[in-house]
């Protein structure tokens, strides 16, 4: 048995990257049934919604699948910072004629907790992956006891070594090209973030666990290159964003198909943590990385009304347009077809 099939149980060495907010079990089921590892992103789901999704996985596929959780430390809300962030955004509220007090509180993203561990024990996903480090030891032990293979993302060699020391089953080397949230958890300095080509070989040399490459991989050549670098498998997200099974919004789909989709940046404006998005008006005007937004996960609340208004007018000016640095693999075709195509191009 190859190293990836021992780890993931799949036909192909590919994980469909969990992408909270733009996909649910429909995409994961399609990928798992096609021979990859479909992932259910749980970060933005309530426990009830997770149960619905996990039930859908159980009935939708007999093959391995992955449940993904965030495991950040949840900070106390900072009233002063929230107020100054809203003040910074006030000109946009005024421009759209939206009352300044109409923004909801920042959208919650709960870190992995006992209720989620209960669900893992009940539904027993083949793989459980974490973002932003690992949960506390007792929670991690509960996951391990289910027999799930445990993965987490490293964005630096230091993070990879730290994860390896916890004895997890695989390490996702997340190059800076990757779309969405950086998994960084030992540093908040984005200048430490390097590319997949630079990161993967250095992590492979530094850890015992098998390494999965993520970031900038969009086609069969990219997959082959990652394997040559020493990865046993790859994690691919962006390429799936146009699939009909994804829940990618209309403005996001449109943005991905413009030439400007090649123009991404790390930004903390939408959630408080650095994540890669196609550059849009808010990022250009405020600057993609700012000290103004409240800490993760609270930054998004104040943007919500602006985003809703702009999206209703067909514009993604205030939307997180998550994408990696290589959108050339995006195809508006069924996810099963795309998964097979990734290995035959």
How far is Cα 36 from Cα 32, in angstroms, rounded to an integer? 5
53 or 159: CB nearest a copy of itself: 159
Q: Return the closest-CA partner of residue 278 out of 267, 287, 289.
A: 267
Please state whether beta strands 170-174 and 264-267 pair in parallel, antiparallel, or not at all (unpaired).
unpaired
3-state secondary structure of 53: helix
Contact 118, 137 (CB under 8 A): no
Omega of the bond leading into 198 within 30 degrees of 0 (cis): no
For a copy of itself, the binding residues in 243-262 under the rule CB under 8 A are 262
Q: Which stretch binds a copy of itself (CB under 8 A): 36-44, 86-94, 164-172, 228-236?
A: 228-236
Strands (E), the chain: 14-16, 38-41, 65-70, 127-131, 149-154, 170-174, 180-181, 211-214, 233-236, 264-267, 275-278
For a copy of itself, the binding residues in 158-197 under the rule CB under 8 A are 175-177, 189, 191-192, 194-197
| Sign (positive or negative) of CA dihedral 309, 315, 21, 79 | negative
| Minimum gap (Å) between residue 54 Cβ and a copy of itself | 34
The residue behind tokens 């969990």 is 18
228 makes contact with a copy of itself (CB under 8 A):
yes
17 makes contact with a copy of itself (CB under 8 A):
no
88 or 279: CB nearest a copy of itself: 279
Q: Return the closest-CA partner of residue 103 out of 281, 299, 251.
A: 299
32 or 280: CB nearest a copy of itself: 280
Binding mask of the shown chain, residues 306 to 345, with x at each position contacting a copy of itself by CB under 8 A: ------------------xxx-x-----------------
| Minimum gap (Å) between residue 154 Cβ and a copy of itself | 13
For a copy of itself, the binding residues in 70-99 under the rule CB under 8 A are none
Binding mask of the shown chain, residues 118 to 157, with x at each position contacting a copy of itself by CB under 8 A: --------------------------------------xx
Contact 189, 273 (CB under 8 A): no
128 or 194: CB nearest a copy of itself: 194
Contact positions vs a copy of itself (CB under 8 A): 156-157, 175-177, 189, 191-192, 194-198, 201-202, 205, 215-219, 221-222, 224-226, 228-230, 262-265, 279, 288, 324-326, 328
């Amino acid at each position: 048995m190859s190293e990836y099939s021992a780890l993931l149980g799949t036909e192909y060495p590919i994980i469909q990257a969990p992408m909270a907010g733009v996909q649910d079990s429909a995409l994961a089921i399609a990928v798992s049934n096609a021979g990859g590892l479909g992932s259910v992103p749980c970060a933005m789901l309530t426990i009830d919604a997770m149960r619905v999704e996990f039930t859908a996985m159980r009935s939708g596929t007999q093959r391995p699948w992955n449940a993904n959780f965030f495991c950040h430390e949840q900070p106390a809300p900072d009233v002063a910072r929230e107020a100054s962030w809203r003040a910074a955004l006030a000109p946009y509220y005024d421009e759209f004629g939206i009352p300044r007090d109409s923004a909801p509180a920042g959208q919650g993203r709960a870190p992995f907790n006992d209720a989620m561990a209960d669900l893992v024990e009940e539904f027993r996903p083949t793989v459980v992956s974490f973002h932003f480090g690992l949960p506390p030891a007792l929670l991690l032990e509960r996951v391990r006891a289910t027999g799930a293979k445990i993965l987490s993302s490293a964005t630096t060699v230091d993070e990879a070594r730290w994860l390896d020391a916890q004895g997890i089953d695989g390490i996702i080397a997340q190059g800076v090209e990757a779309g969405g949230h950086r998994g960084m958890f030992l540093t908040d300095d984005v200048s430490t973030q390097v590319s997949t080509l630079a990161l993967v070989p250095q992590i492979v040399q530094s850890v015992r666990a098998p390494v999965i490459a993520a970031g900038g991989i969009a086609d069969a050549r990219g997959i082959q290159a990652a394997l040559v670098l020493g990865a046993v498998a790859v994690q691919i997200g962006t390429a799936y964003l146009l699939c009909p099974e994804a829940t990618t919004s209309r403005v996001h789909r449109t943005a991905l198909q413009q030439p400007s989709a090649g123009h991404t940046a790390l930004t903390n404006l939408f959630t408080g943590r650095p994540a890669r998005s196609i550059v849009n008006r808010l990022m250009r005007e405020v600057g993609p990385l700012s000290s103004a937004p409240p800490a993760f996960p609270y930054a998004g609340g104040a943007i919500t009304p602006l985003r809703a208004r702009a999206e209703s007018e067909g514009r993604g000016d205030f939307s997180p347009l998550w994408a990696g640095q290589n959108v050339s693999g995006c195809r508006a075709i069924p996810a099963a077809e795309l998964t097979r195509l990734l290995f035959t191009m």
